[in-house]
């Protein structure tokens, strides 16, 4: 009985610690999960050097990729403010101009946001392509690749 | 020995058949979302899992309230069983969510409000199961569990509104939202079908799990009777 | 890992979890039934 009791006390302690940790960090972190570009431009001096997140839409035509330096540069906007973001490395597939994104990193003295992580944010809408690929069309494609009936 | 009633077998078979049809419909018979591509098909698993987990938590909540009122261990058996199945479906929700998050968001996990609350609810119900396993006296375990389970309803309401009240990486709700679902019919129908199939599986699991609790209860009574006689 | 790889992983993980839970449940049911039957047999022998 003693061993069983101890086992449950240890396990219970872990669960309670995990809960307290998640609630604490949850309240601290997820209440303001990311700042908008206009919020950041307002308070940039006070957050300089602190790690934080910025979320917005990628401005059309702002996305530039430098393959030599592996540097991705783009702008994020919420319709009012604009933040210039520089990111070393690649981005997720769904990260594109006109789409939503949340970046993690720090605001630098040089007037841009240094991103260490890019996350693509998508909408709650789901729709098929304009010309939906049906099972029939997949079979047709398969046939055309195999060139059935042709030598 | 393993005497399975015809109804239970039919129930399990129906769940398997529905899931097989849902699998074919969602994976092969329908085009994937235009923006996300094929990975969107994880939705036919992720959304039914979370819907089922919510229902399981709701059943545990109602049965726990009823238990606190009636003090009947047969009602508590429903609460306990549903909580266990809820943990399974919450686990699947977290796992499929991470696997869906990596190719779309670019990360397996992030501490936004929706994900954090889901992780907290999962840990809460793991705790519930531990309280139940720890309690040596059935009535006491049922009572502690019921008090914990009362938090279930506010937890799922909080999780539903988390994506509206706070800024999150997770997108807002696609199904239960003002203005109706934001999902095109070709994607919506297999999704609803898969939700129904998963709920049938849940009801099968629940009946079998309650049956287990009943047999254990009878065995305990038999042991008690024997002890008194000897 | 390609798009379908993630889909396969998700469905694989969920299948393992669901089938695993089903087997776990069936195993416990069998065990409980056997225990109950043994208790009843013993009880019957004693009263005789």
Q: Do B105 and A99 touch, CB atoms closer than 8 A?
A: no
Residue C43 confidence (pLDDT) above 80? no
* Contact between C21 and B205 using a beta-carbon 8 Å cutoff: yes
CB atoms closer than 10 angstroms to residue B174: 18
Domain boundaries along the sequence of chain C: 18-48
Asked if the C-beta of A102 comes within 8 angstroms of chain B's C-beta atoms, the answer is yes
Dist. CA C10–CA C4, nearest whole Å: 10
* Mean pLDDT on A124-138: 73
More confident residue, A138 or B43: B43
Closest to B159 (Cα-Cα) out of B100, B97, B216: B97
Q: Do B54 and B90 touch, CB atoms closer than 8 A?
A: no
Which residues in chain B touch residue C28, judged by CB atoms under 8 angstroms apart? 212
DSSP β-ladder status, A113-121 and A82-88:
parallel
Cβ contacts of C34 within 8 Å, gap of 6 or more: B1
Closest-CA distance, B99 to chain C, in angstroms, reads 6
* Contact between B183 and A120 using a beta-carbon 8 Å cutoff: no
Share of chain C above pLDDT 70, in %: 90
* Mean pLDDT on B70-83: 97
- B87-119: buried (b, 16+ CB within 10 Å) or exposed (e) per residue? bbbbbbbbbbbbbbbbbbbbbeebebbbbbbbb
Q: Which CA distances in Å does B63 have to B5, B80, B84?
A: 25, 9, 14
Supply B120's token pair. 């907290």
Which residues in chain C touch residue B229, judged by CB atoms under 8 angstroms apart? 43, 46-47
Dist. CA A67–CA A112, nearest whole Å: 20
Supply A113's token pair. 């946001």
Which residues in chain A touch residue B28, judged by CB atoms under 8 angstroms apart? 135
> What pLDDT score does B1 carry?
40
> What pLDDT score does A6 carry?
81
Domain boundaries along the sequence of chain B: 45-216
Dist. CA B176–CA A114, nearest whole Å: 37
Helix (H, G, I), strand (E, B) or coil at A101: strand
> What pLDDT score does A136 carry?
62
* Contact between C25 and B225 using a beta-carbon 8 Å cutoff: no
Of A124, A129, A136, A141, which to mutate for an interface test with B (greatest number of B Cβ within 10 Å)?
A: A124
Q: Summarize pLDDT for A103-126 with one digit per residue, the tens.
A: 999 999 888 999 999 999 999 999
Cross-chain CB nearest to B111 (options A15, A30, A124): A30
């Amino acid at each position: 009985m003693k061993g069983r009791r101890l086992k449950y006390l240890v396990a219970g302690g872990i669960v309670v610690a995990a809960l307290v940790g998640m609630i604490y960090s949850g309240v601290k972190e997820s209440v303001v999960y990311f700042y908008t570009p206009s919020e950041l431009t307002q308070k940039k001096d006070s957050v300089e050097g602190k790690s934080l997140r910025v979320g917005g839409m990628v401005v059309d035509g702002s996305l530039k990729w430098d393959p030599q330096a592996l540097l991705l540069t783009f702008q994020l906007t919420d319709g009012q403010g604009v933040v210039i973001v520089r990111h070393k490395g690649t981005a997720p597939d769904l990260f594109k101009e006109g789409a939503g994104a949340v970046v993690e990193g720090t605001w630098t003295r040089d007037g841009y946001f240094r991103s260490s992580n890019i996350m693509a944010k998508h909408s709650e809408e789901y729709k098929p392509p304009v010309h939906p690929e049906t099972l029939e069309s997949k079979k047709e494609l398969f046939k055309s690749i195999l060139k059935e009936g042709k030598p | 020995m393993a005497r399975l009633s015809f109804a239970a077998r039919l129930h399990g078979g129906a769940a398997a058949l529905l899931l097989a049809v849902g699998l074919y419909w969602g994976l092969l018979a329908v085009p994937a979302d235009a923006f996300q591509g094929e990975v969107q098909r994880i939705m036919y698993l992720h959304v039914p899992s979370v819907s089922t987990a919510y229902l399981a938590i709701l059943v545990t909540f109602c049965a726990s309230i009823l238990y606190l009122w009636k003090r009947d261990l047969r009602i508590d058996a429903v609460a306990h069983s549903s909580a266990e199945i809820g943990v399974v479906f919450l686990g699947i929700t977290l796992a499929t969510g991470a696997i869906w998050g990596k190719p779309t968001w670019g990360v397996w996990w992030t501490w936004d409000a929706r994900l954090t609350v889901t992780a907290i609810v999962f840990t809460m119900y793991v705790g519930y199961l531990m309280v139940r396993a720890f309690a040596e006296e059935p009535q006491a375990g049922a009572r502690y569990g019921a008090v914990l389970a009362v938090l279930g309803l506010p937890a799922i309401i909080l999780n539903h509104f988390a994506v509206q009240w706070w800024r999150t990486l997770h997108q807002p709700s696609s199904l239960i939202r003002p203005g109706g679902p934001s999902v095109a019919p070709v994607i919506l129908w297999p999704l609803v079908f898969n939700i129904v199939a998963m709920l049938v599986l849940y009801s099968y699991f629940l009946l079998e799990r309650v049956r287990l609790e009943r047999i254990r209860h009878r065995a305990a009574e038999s042991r008690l009777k024997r002890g008194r006689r000897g | 890992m390609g798009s379908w790889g993630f889909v396969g992983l998700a469905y694989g993980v969920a299948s393992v979890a669901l089938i695993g839970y089903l087997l776990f449940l069936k195993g416990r049911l069998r065990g409980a039934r056997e225990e109950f039957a043994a208790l009843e047999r013993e009880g019957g022998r004693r009263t005789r």
